[in-house]
Amino acid sequence: MTILILEQLLNGLQFGLMLFLLTAGLTLVFGIMDLINLAHGSLYVTGAYLTATLTQATGSFLMAIPFAVAITAILGMIMEMSLLRTLYQRNHLSQVLATYALLLICNEAIRIIWGSQPLELNAPAALSGPVEIVPGLFYSSYRLVIIGVGAVLAALLYILITRTKAGMWVRAGASNRQMATVMGVNIKLLFTVVFGLGAALSAGAGALLGPLLSVQVGMGENILILAFVVVVIGGVGSNRGALVGALLVGWVDNDGTAALSMVLRQLLPPTTASTLGSTLSSILIYILMAAVLFWKPQGLFPARG
Amino acid sequence: MKKLIVIAASGLLVLSPASAADKVKIGFLSTLSGPLAVLGTEAQDGFNLALRENNNKVGGLPVEVLVGDDQASPDAGKQAADRMLKRDKVDFMTGVLFSNVLLTIAPSVFAAKVFYISSGAGPAALAGAQCNPFFFGIGWQNDGQSEAMGQYLKENGFKNVYLLAANYAGGKDNITGFKRTFDGGIVGESYVKLGALDFSSELAEIRATKGDALFFFLPGAMGTNFIKQYVAAGLDKQMPLFAPGYDADEDTIAGVGAPMIGLRNASHWAWDLDNPANKHFVEAFQSAYRRYPSVFSFQGYEAFNLIARAVSDVKGNLEDKDALRDAIKAARFASARGDFKFNTNQFPIQNYYLRVVQKDGTGTITNKTIGTIFKNHTDSYASLCPMK
């Protein structure tokens, strides 16, 4: 039983950290530029597809990741400079419509380039086996690496935002855009760089999750909804909020489903229990969100104080 | 010149009998996008191979194939099926892989009096009480391969089996089939959403049950991902994996590779079955697509050949539905699975074989047939079907 709980907690942690990589960019873009970007998931998908293609071309997963992340970051910056920039002054409805169109265009483009068949992406052979963490608990070494990489990236991002000058500009932009501009921050450049950083982090999440899930069109949509929930729970524009929110959502989504279906299976036939378990746990996430909004309407760690 | 064409055209009109159609329209509706699409493409490749071998003609009539994508969703499937039935007025339909999609479209297919040749889904309902004169299952009733695996696990003394399946009609049928023949203990039974790809929390639960085997039914990329994650979590050392044949076929092996070696599964067909029709099919498929055929390619191929032979037997007269039905039911084409015949519910009576995934002489990982589990197996629903 202890092993089961421990394993489920690790699963939740792994999912939460990946969700954080996806949300970190989203919350900064939302917080600093006041832009709702529904096409953020497309950057995640692009990262995964590029990693799969480059892995096939170079034969090395580890070589493929940095290139895929860099290319996606550049694509993201081009997207910001060409299209999204014109949307900052528009209201949220226009932004949602425009970025939703962008999402559909990206999906079709991916379908045209790579076809509708999922791509195969395998973790390096060295990581395909299990490791024994505590006696009796064998855990996938690849999932452990993901947890490690996710944690390191989260720490680096935290240092970047709280301890560096660039981070100070980002925080200034998030808490009061006009004031930051008046104080001489080059907002235009800052926006492009922040967008590129967000794109790189999402691409990283796509690349790391690729071997676990299959790389396919539409893989970004489901996870994007959760990413927005994380943004709301954590507080718009807050990096710390994104991390806490992502871990909360990861644990509730993963362990909530597991615990609920285990309890329900004692009472109901297995098919009903499984259906009900996954339905109830997706409700749980929204209950969590509603509760946070009730007590902390600005989210757990609001960037704009 | 113009005159010549008119004469030629009128000549053609005279030649073709008034009652016969001028072409045969087949609606091929399958899952061609999304994580389950690999199966649809397999089926389409087999179907197209048979189409080419017949030079796009059956019984002297040209064939028109209308392709639709159901995205494994009943809604999308219903729309595409209605278009084929109402606008295109197809004569036959085939291709649907998922029982939930098939059960949704079946009533309108039957109402339109169109023959449905199922090369995939074989839901219990359509084999039993809701069997229909316009429905033929060319492959299986969903329980079949899993009944065979249940029998195998029983004979080999497994006592504590964990069952995992996709949560839809086909998944439930497979688990029902397994339980019908397996009489040992079941340590756990759980269902995951159709299309789910991350199984981390199921893996944790499976580990905690400490069973002695795991039987799963997860189609398409679900199965590929599950096996990879199962092996990565080290569970294959504790509980060996068993699956129905369509979960352990060439398409899955292509995605998983070496971790699948040793997986035992049951199927009514295998590429190494020794009969002339199968030899021809496997060779033709390999030269066309440079890979071994999977059970779904086999069934796409068989569905076309069944239609082709029946249309040719009735000499292209598609209007006489009773004669056409008798011709289909006789199944006179040379099946690559060897001899089989249709039962009263129009599902096959056939053998089920035990296969194991292994490395062959050339180093290719593939299935090898190592025994026969059932001979002339009939499904358990035929007695509920009112057709005689």
Residue B187 at interface with chain A, using a CB cutoff of 8 Å = no
Give the Cβ contact number of residue A237 at 10 Å.
26
Q: Side chain identity at A220, as an amino acid letter?
A: G
pTM: 0.84
Confidence of residue A305 (pLDDT cuts 50, 70, 90): very low
Measure CB to CB from residue B201 to each of A11, A139, A273 and give the nearest one: A11
Distance (Å, rounded) from C-alpha A298 to C-alpha A292? 9
Nearest Cα residue to B122 out of B347, B353, B386: B347
* Cβ separation A4–B207 shorter than 8 A: yes
Q: Side chain identity at B379, as an amino acid letter?
A: D
At residue B15, the pLDDT reads 45
Q: What is the pLDDT of residues A171-198, one digit of tens each?
A: 888 778 788 888 888 888 888 999 999 9
Residue A32 backbone zone (phi > 0: left; psi -120 to 50: alpha; other: beta): alpha
With H, G, I as helix, E, B as strand and everything else as coil, classify residue A83. Answer: coil
DSSP 8-state symbol, A118: P
Q: What is the pLDDT of residues B221-247, one digit of tens each?
A: 889 889 989 998 889 988 999 999 999
Please give the C-alpha separations between residue A22 and each of A146, B298, B332, in angstroms, as whole numbers: 14, 42, 57
Chain A residues with beta carbon closer than 8 angstroms to that of B32: 116
The values of phi and psi at residue B318, to 5°, are: -90, -5
Q: What is the pLDDT of residues B298-319, one digit of tens each?
A: 999 999 999 999 999 999 899 9
Residue A51 at interface with chain B, using a CB cutoff of 8 Å = no
Confidence of residue B14 (pLDDT cuts 50, 70, 90): very low
Residue A129 at interface with chain B, using a CB cutoff of 8 Å = yes
Q: What is the pLDDT of residues A146-166, one digit of tens each?
A: 999 999 999 999 999 889 998
Q: Which of A140, A141, A226, A278 to mutate against chain B (most B CBs within 10 Å)?
A: A140
* Cβ separation A139–B198 shorter than 8 A: no
Distance (Å, rounded) from C-alpha B275 to C-alpha B369? 13
pLDDT of A120 strictly over 80:
no
Q: How wide is the angle at C-alpha A99 spanned by C-alphas A95 and A104, nearest 5°?
A: 150
| B31, B40 Cβ separation under 8 angstroms | yes
How close does chain A come to B83, measured CA to CA in Å? 22
Number of alpha carbons in the 13 Å side-chain half-sphere of residue B240: 12
* Cβ separation B191–A255 shorter than 8 A: no
Residue A120 at interface with chain B, using a CB cutoff of 8 Å = yes
- B113 vs A259: which has the higher pLDDT: B113
Residue pointed to by tokens 């994508």: B69
Confidence of residue B3 (pLDDT cuts 50, 70, 90): low
Confidence of residue B255 (pLDDT cuts 50, 70, 90): confident
Residue B289 at interface with chain A, using a CB cutoff of 8 Å = no
| Listed ranges A252-261, A267-276, B36-45; the one with the highest mean pLDDT | B36-45
Q: What is the mean pLDDT of residues A125-143?
A: 86
* Cβ separation A214–B208 shorter than 8 A: no
At residue B11, the pLDDT reads 46
What is the ipTM, given to two decimal places? 0.81
Report the residue count for chain B.
388
| B229, A140 Cβ separation under 8 angstroms | yes
Q: What is the largest CA-CA distance in chain A?
A: 64
Give the bridge partners for B372, in sequence order: B353
Q: What is the mean pLDDT of residues B122-133?
A: 93
pLDDT of B8 strictly over 70:
no
At residue B5, the pLDDT reads 52
Measure CB to CB from residue A140 to each of B34, B191, B233 and give the nearest one: B233
| Listed ranges A104-113, A145-154, B1-10; the one with the highest mean pLDDT | A145-154
DSSP 8-state symbol, A3: H
Give the bridge partners for B117, in sequence order: B94, B136
Q: What is the pLDDT of residues B146-190, one digit of tens each?
A: 999 999 999 999 999 999 999 988 999 999 999 999 999 999 999
* Cβ separation B200–A11 shorter than 8 A: yes
Confidence of residue A124 (pLDDT cuts 50, 70, 90): confident
With H, G, I as helix, E, B as strand and everything else as coil, classify residue B267. Answer: strand
Chain B residues with beta carbon closer than 8 angstroms to that of A143: 200, 232
Residue B186 at interface with chain A, using a CB cutoff of 8 Å = no
